[in-house]
Amino acid sequence: MPGAGVKVYKPCNAITHTDNKPKDGVKLLWQAPNDRSGFVYFTGTLLYNYTDYWSDVIALVPNPDEA
């Protein structure tokens, strides 16, 4: 369930903010498909203001089978 200030878009597996209040962080929970096939990575855009932002940020997810 999303927290205050967050909106989830399930059809495209996306989230966004719903207000312009500064955020100290975001905590997300994702559940892998049952077949666990392929590689998993998350992409995003972080916006500080309309001039300063970072796009195509990629976060790799560790494979628990290779730990």
pLDDT in tens, 10-26: 766 778 888 888 888 77
**Helix runs in 1-67, H state only:** none
Number of domains the chain is built from: 1
For 39-54, what is the mean pLDDT?
A: 86
Amino acid 48 reads: Y
Listing DSSP states for 31-46 in one string gives ---TT--S--EEEEEE
- Residue span of the structural domain in which 44 resides: 38-67
The whole-angstrom separation of Cα 22 and Cα 9 is 21
Domain for residue 22, yes or no?
Answer: no
Domain for residue 14, yes or no?
Answer: no
For 27-48, what is the mean pLDDT?
A: 79
Q: What average pLDDT does the chain have?
A: 78
44: nearest Cα among 21, 4, 17? 17
**N- to C-terminal Cα distance for the chain?**
29
Q: Check pLDDT > 60 for residue 57.
A: yes
Domain for residue 13, yes or no?
Answer: no
